[in-house]
């Protein structure tokens, strides 16, 4: 089993739609969780950290379920500019710096 797994996608949604991505991880000792965004042929960039209580940043909401080892990202009112690959990230070492990236889920928001 891979350490971090994500919905394979791609997700093709119309502008204004709500879309949800799921991510599961295998290491129960993982401490920190993130969602990164990667545009085509660009570097990954942090979208948001994921906190135990769940957190929201504008149209984006992240949830963590430690018991099920499950992370989610919800995007409301999708924009064309949201089209990208979304990478789930889990840390797996005591230093909290060994990032394990999921394979990513590609999102295309259509006009």
Partner 1 sequence: DAGVIQSPRHEVTEMGQEVTLRCKPISGHDYLFWYRQTMMRGLELLIYFNNNVPIDDSGMPEDRFSAKMPNASFSTLKIQPSEPRDSAVYFCASSLRQGVSYEQYFGPGTRLTVT
Site residues for partner 1, window 64-103 (CB under 8 A)? Answer: 87, 93, 95-103
Q: Give SS3 for 8.
A: coil
Q: How far apart are CA 42 and CA 77, in angstroms?
A: 24
State both tokens at 73: 């990202």
Q: Which of 22, 27, 49, 61 binds partner 1 (CB under 8 A)?
A: 49
**Least distance between partner 1 and beta carbon 78 (Å):** 24
Place of tokens 């394990």: 100
**Least distance between partner 1 and beta carbon 69 (Å):** 19
60 counts as binding partner 1 under rule CB under 8 A:
no
Q: What string marks each residue from 2 to 31 as x (binds partner 1 by CB under 8 A) or -?
A: -----------------------------x
Whether omega for the bond prior to residue 10 falls within 30 degrees of 0, making it cis, is: yes
Nearest to 88 by CA among 65, 55, 62, 67: 62
Q: How far apart are CA 39 and CA 44, in angstroms?
A: 7
Residue with Cβ nearer partner 1 (17 or 100): 100
Q: Site residues (CB under 8 A) for partner 1?
A: 31-32, 42-46, 49, 87, 93, 95-104
């Amino acid at each position: 089993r891979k350490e971090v797994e994500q919905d394979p996608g791609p997700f093709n949604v119309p502008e204004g739609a709500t879309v949800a991505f799921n991510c599961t991880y295998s290491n129960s000792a993982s401490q920190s969780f993130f969602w990164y965004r990667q545009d085509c042929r660009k570097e990954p960039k942090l979208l948001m950290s994921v906190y135990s209580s769940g957190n929201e940043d504008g149209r984006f909401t992240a949830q963590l379920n430690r018991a099920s080892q499950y992370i989610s990202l919800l995007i409301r009112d999708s924009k064309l500019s949201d089209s990208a690959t979304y990478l789930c990230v889990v840390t797996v070492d005591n230093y909290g710096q060994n990032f394990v990236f999921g394979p990513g889920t590609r999102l295309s928001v259509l006009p």
